[in-house]
Amino acid sequence: MTSPVDVFFNISDRYVRRARLQPSLLTALPAALAVMAYFPGGLIGWGILWSALVTCGGTALLAQLARDRGKRKEPELFQTWAGKPTTRFLRHRTAPNPVILNRQHRRLQLLVTGIRIPTSDEERCDPAHADHVYDACTAFLIEKTRNKERFPLVFEENCNYGFRRNLWGMKPIGLTVSLLSVGAIALLFLIDFQNALMPPPLSFVCGGLILALIVGWIAWFTPSWVKIAADSYAERLLASCDSLESQQT
């Protein structure tokens, strides 16, 4: 398992920033906005505190938290989707396009040595074994497409999927933090109104942003939203068969 120290020294890696760190930062954003609403004049001090947290590995811890939450809940997504996206696309019974499927099966049969792609009848007789074969093919493609420069589209879609998966995994925490934060700002408004004061414009902006995030957590950050990116990643990963075959010939 990747340690927080490893993540800290790789924080410049685009995948770590986009797929792991950004979901955690979005989760913590409502709390930061609430603090900003209460202490609008203390931004410099909070900037110094944030720099200290970064130096001490705080960003690494946030990245690990998002990654662990996303990976832990990933099987729940696969169960909802009736399998991993790549597995679904490689099955005879669930592939969206049989013509593309036949071409991918032929290329995988040439690329992945030591296995045989099941026929439609074999898959129907033993679907569990067929899925194991498709998973093995997926693992092969993942290892062969890790080069970001040679497979930029695969990397891009992998980042998109990782971001959405990890953000959805953080949903219970993010929604809780958002509700507590908007409640704190509502309390600030109540105190100001009782003292016949008008809350500063910054408080309204912060409250509005938190409310928008609450709507996002409830209505937008859903398994179907994650599935869009997951399917796109699976499509790009399987499409790499063409490039990999040309490199072997």
Q: Where are the domains of the chain?
A: 4-240
Whole-number pLDDT of residue 247? 67
**Per-residue pLDDT tens over the stretch 33-61:** 888 888 876 555 455 445 545 544 557 77
CB 24 within 8 Å of CB 70: no
Whole-number pLDDT of residue 58? 59
For 221, list phi and psi in degrees, rounded to 5.
-80, 80
**Per-residue pLDDT tens over the stretch 125-152:** 999 999 999 999 999 999 999 999 999 9
Instruction: Extract the tokens encoding 236.
Output: 């790009």
Over 60: is that where the pLDDT of 89 sits? yes
Instruction: Tell me the whole-structure pTM to 2 decimals.
Output: 0.86
Q: In a 10 Å sphere around its CB, with 0-12 CB exposed, 13-18 middle and 19+ buried, how is residue 79 labelled?
A: exposed
Sign of dihedral through CA atoms 79, 80, 81, 86?
Answer: negative
Compute CA distances 31 → 9, 107, 204, 216, 227, whole Å: 26, 50, 15, 16, 28
Average pLDDT, stretch 171-198?
89
How many other CB atoms are found less than 10 A from the CB of residue 11?
15
CB 144 within 8 Å of CB 197: no
Q: Which DSSP category does 12 fall into?
A: T
Instruction: Give me the DSSP letters along 142-158.
Output: HHHT--TTT-HHHHHHH
